[in-house]
Amino acid sequence: MAQDTAFGADSPRRRLLRDQVQVVKRKDSDRYEIVPIQDSLSFEKGFFIFIRACQLLAQKNDGIILVGVAGPSGAGKTVFTEKILNFMPSIAVITMDNYNDSSRIIDGNFDGKFSLNLFTFK
């Protein structure tokens, strides 16, 4: 994939947070995607990089942009998503929190596949 960025990895500008997000054109379509960032980020840095990524994707792609936020229970997915919603009120959030069935949790594992009530998806 060819990177769509004006700054190379060695550029001093690359150190700026907003310049760490890189967009590439997918080989199998006319859509663009974000190059994965391998660095560990603080909540605040991750938030601003996420916002920048959404801005770039909206500029490059027509139509709906679908973004997933993943992580184990208690990682801060809901807080992160609420902060994004406050910053970008036009987005829609589909939460999985409503699909947990506390009666099916085994040994306190909220992340187990049996803790989801899949019948509520229908």
**pLDDT tens digit sequence for 5-24:** 444 444 454 567 767 888 99
pTM for this prediction = 0.62
Q: What is the pLDDT of residue 7?
A: 43
**Which of the four pLDDT bands, split at 50, 70 and 90, describes residue 93?**
confident
Domain coordinates in residue numbering, the chain: 1-67
pLDDT tens-place string over residues 23-48: 999 999 999 999 988 888 888 888 88
pLDDT of residue 1: 44
Q: What three-state secondary structure class fits 120?
A: helix
One-letter amino acid at 42 equals S
Share of the chain above pLDDT 70, in %: 65
Mean pLDDT of 59-71: 85
The single residue listed with the structure tokens 């999985």 is: 96
Query: Rounded to an integer, what distance in angstroms lies between the CA atom of residue 30 and that of residue 32?
Result: 7
Distances (CA, A) of 60 to 25, 26, 33, 64: 9, 12, 9, 11
